[in-house]
Amino acid sequence: MTLTKRTIKLTTPFTDQKPGTSGLRKSSSQFETPHYLESFLEAILRTLPGVDGGTLVVGGDGRYGNERAINIIMSMAAAHGLKKVITTTNGILSTPAASHLIRSRKAIGGIILSASHNPGGRNGDFGVKVNGSNGGPAAEALTNSIYSCTQKLEEYSLIDIPKISLQSQGNQQIGEMKVEIVDGVEDYVVLMQNLFDFDLIQNFLLQDFSFIFDAMNAVTGPYAKRIFEDLLNAPKGSVLNGLPLEDFGGSHPDPNLTYAKDLAELLLTKKQYSFGAACDGDGDRNMVLGKGCFVNPSDSLAVLTANAHLVPGYADGLKGVARSMPTSSAVDAVAKKIGINCFETPTGWKFFGNLLDANEITLCGEESFGTGSNHVREKDGLWAVLFWLQILAKRNTSVEEIMHEHWTEYGRHYYSRHDYEEVDSEAASDLYSNLEKLTPKLVGKQFATGTVMLADNFNYKDPIDNSLTTNQGLRIILDDSSRIIIRLSGTGTKGATLRIYLERYISNPGETRKNPQIVLSDLITSINNLAEIPKMTGMNAPTVIT
């Protein structure tokens, strides 16, 4: 069959991608406007190193638009000289599984179709994420090149192909290009079996320990059923909402106390299970709950670090750890005690990539329900759940006990994030720039619970390639180790999202069972007043409190 390449001229310039972001996240309807998706894909295919003759991994979280996008990618990939595209049955591929596939198949990178935890469906959001050959989100240099390419794009090319069926595994040929359809779950499950002791966890689940996992009608359903119900023998039905749906059943697939509130209620109010967990739309985020006990993600990273020696995949010790700047300092305390380095990076997983590649760190995490390790180059929701199960099984204890013992040993970093969503963009940027001017003047003065030691806008020099990333969030750090961080979200799609991160350290073990909102109340009041949040945003309370 001879296939002809077509070139389509663009009449409207493509201006939507923000510089420095490793993908594009917009409404589904925006992605359906003519030439929109194609324009961004063209910029990726022109920029990603190794396209000519290379192998590309493609898949997504199953949201509305997934299969359409996979077909468009095939027709454009064939026009750009790729040797092979690896995709999955029904196009289902979690973000961490995609990262693993890119690495294990030595692909030049991947295109992951997801808007992560944003709602999906015809009226929801869609997204295209670009990963490099290390399996991680495209690094700063690549994202900047993709961005510059979008700025001067005049045309894109494709080859017309019949619609490719993704129903079953197998190989197909499009002209010179091979399409390999694999099971997107299998390789990932084998990787997990290599890191964790499945027999030990299976025995533990048979004891007086009840387990529930909420896949939120998103990508982790098939992975979780295979791992928990088939391999670890958790009772059938332990995986809730296990079927990936195009609109996630109308829900917001973000595993936090607001959007996974049914699960939270089962654990925190009704106390029906010993352990509960959930993952987000594309499977890279996790939330972990014990009976009557919410584990905040910053603490989770600290607990995984302190107990990593109990996990076969990490029994040889950790090289170092990293956390994003707004993540609490709980992991720093553990790193100090076990004598390893702890790096502080800007928000976003891509900043961990160089440290992982250079073997400077083994574990890393963010306060936003992201935890991961050097096994892939993305955060990994199910991996974190298995890590917790392994620790619980090995120590034969409960989540609540682990947390209590942890705080008794290290003190507790009380922590909360307040989000103000869908704020008018101009009001949010005014609020931020006012604060940027005000905060440096606080140094040396009394603020909330202490004296301000440092107030600045966080800049980061990558320790591996020395690249500089500036203006990553305002920090106010007090002499009692309290911290307040203020950032504007880079991932929201409606208006602006203002995030306020609050942290206070209490070393006295007897004082570690209080409500964080009460312990943090002085910090909350002080920043609300300084930033004039109610006046500037027109909102009296945050939309999400974590």
Would you name the residues annotated as active-site residues? 116
- The single residue among 280, 299, 366, 378 that binds Zn ion, judged by CB under 5 A, is 280
To ligand G1P, the closest distance from the beta carbon of 233 in angstroms equals 32
To ligand G1P, the closest distance from the beta carbon of 352 in angstroms equals 10
Q: Which is nearer to ligand G1P, 150 or 347 (CB)?
A: 347
Q: Does 286 interact with Zn ion (rule: CB under 5 A)?
A: no
Helical residues (DSSP H) of 196-284, grouped into ranges = 198-206, 220-224, 261-264
Pick from ligand G1P, Zn ion, none: which does 469 bind, CB < 5 to 8 A by kind?
Answer: none
Q: Per-residue x/- mask for ligand G1P, residues 113 to 152, rule CB under 6 A?
A: ---x------------------------------------
Residue type (1 letter), 92: I
To ligand G1P, the closest distance from the beta carbon of 299 in angstroms equals 16
For residue 103, give both structure tokens.
């690495």
Residue whose structure tokens are 């069959």: 1
Q: Contacts with ligand G1P in 57-116 (CB under 6 A)?
A: 116
**H or E, element range at 290:** strand 286-290
- The single residue among 64, 349, 388, 432 that binds ligand G1P, judged by CB under 6 A, is 349
Of the candidate spans 114-122, 181-189, 386-394, 490-498, the one that interacts with Zn ion by CB under 5 A turns out to be 114-122
Q: Does 469 interact with ligand G1P (rule: CB under 6 A)?
A: no
- The single residue among 61, 67, 125, 282 that binds Zn ion, judged by CB under 5 A, is 282
To ligand G1P, the closest distance from the beta carbon of 286 in angstroms equals 12
Q: Does 38 interact with Zn ion (rule: CB under 5 A)?
A: no
Residue type (1 letter), 445: K
Q: Which is nearer to ligand G1P, 21 or 88 (CB)?
A: 21
Query: How many CA atoms does the CB half-sphere of 319 hold within 13 Å?
Result: 14
To Zn ion, the closest distance from the beta carbon of 382 in angstroms equals 12
Question: Quick one: which of 543, 356, 533 has its CA closest to 434?
Answer: 533
3-state secondary structure of 387: helix
Q: Does 366 interact with Zn ion (rule: CB under 5 A)?
A: no
Residue 228: C-alpha distances to residues 94, 235, 521 (Å): 16, 8, 40
Q: Does 347 interact with ligand G1P (rule: CB under 6 A)?
A: yes
To ligand G1P, the closest distance from the beta carbon of 256 in angstroms equals 11
Q: In what order do the strands lie in the sheet with 109-113?
A: 23-27, 125-131, 109-113, 55-60, 84-88, 177-182, 170-174
Local structure of residue 312 (DSSP, 8 states): G
Pick from Zn ion, ligand G1P, none: which does 347 bind, CB < 5 to 8 A by kind?
Answer: ligand G1P
Q: What is the spatial distance between Cα 240 and Cα 371, in angstroms, rounded to a whole number?
A: 22
To ligand G1P, the closest distance from the beta carbon of 419 in angstroms equals 9
Binding-residue total with ligand G1P (CB under 6 A): 13
Q: Does 415 interact with ligand G1P (rule: CB under 6 A)?
A: no
Of the candidate spans 108-116, 246-254, 336-344, 395-403, the one that interacts with Zn ion by CB under 5 A turns out to be 108-116
Q: What is the spatial distance between Cα 301 and Cα 265, in angstroms, rounded to a whole number?
A: 23
Q: Does 328 interact with ligand G1P (rule: CB under 6 A)?
A: no
Pick from Zn ion, ligand G1P, none: which does 348 bind, CB < 5 to 8 A by kind?
Answer: ligand G1P
Q: Which is nearer to ligand G1P, 38 or 503 (CB)?
A: 503
Q: How many CB atoms lie within 10 A of CB 32?
A: 14
- The single residue among 119, 348, 353, 542 that binds ligand G1P, judged by CB under 6 A, is 348
- The single residue among 61, 140, 254, 284 that binds Zn ion, judged by CB under 5 A, is 284
Pick from Zn ion, ligand G1P, none: which does 280 bind, CB < 5 to 8 A by kind?
Answer: Zn ion
Q: What is the spatial distance between Cα 523 and Cα 404, in angstroms, rounded to a whole number?
A: 24
Q: Does 366 interact with ligand G1P (rule: CB under 6 A)?
A: yes
To ligand G1P, the closest distance from the beta carbon of 297 in angstroms equals 9
Residue type (1 letter), 375: H
Pick from Zn ion, ligand G1P, none: which does 282 bind, CB < 5 to 8 A by kind?
Answer: Zn ion
- The single residue among 80, 129, 377, 499 that binds ligand G1P, judged by CB under 6 A, is 499
Residue 86: C-alpha distances to residues 89, 191, 221, 378, 532 (Å): 10, 18, 21, 19, 51
Q: Which is nearer to Zn ion, 280 or 380 (CB)?
A: 280
For residue 190, give both structure tokens.
């084998």
Q: Does 491 interact with ligand G1P (rule: CB under 6 A)?
A: yes
To ligand G1P, the closest distance from the beta carbon of 417 in angstroms equals 8
> What angle (nearest 5°) sits at the alpha carbon of residue 288, between those of residues 284 and 289?
155
To ligand G1P, the closest distance from the beta carbon of 368 in angstroms equals 4
Local structure of residue 239 (DSSP, 8 states): E
Which phi and psi (to 5°) does residue 538 adopt? 70, 15
Pick from Zn ion, ligand G1P, none: which does 368 bind, CB < 5 to 8 A by kind?
Answer: ligand G1P
Question: Quick one: which of 92, 60, 382 has its CA closest to 224?
Answer: 382
- The single residue among 489, 521, 528, 543 that binds ligand G1P, judged by CB under 6 A, is 489
Q: Which residue is nearest to ligand G1P (CB)?
A: 489
Q: Contacts with ligand G1P in 371-400 (CB under 6 A)?
A: none
Q: Does 368 interact with ligand G1P (rule: CB under 6 A)?
A: yes
Q: What is the dihedral of CA 138, 139, 145, 148, to 10 degrees?
A: 90
The per-residue DSSP string of 46-112 comes to: HHSTT-TT-EEEEEE---TTHHHHHHHHHHHHHHTT-SEEEEEGGGB--HHHHHHHHHHTT-SEEEE
3-state secondary structure 321-370: EEEECCCCCHHHHHHHHHCCEEEEECCCHHHHHHHHHCCCCCEEEECCCE
Q: Which residues contact Zn ion (rule: CB under 5 A)?
A: 116, 280, 282, 284-285
Instruction: Please give the residue ranges that form the binding site for ligand G1P (CB under 6 A).
Output: 116, 324, 347-349, 366, 368, 370, 489-492, 499
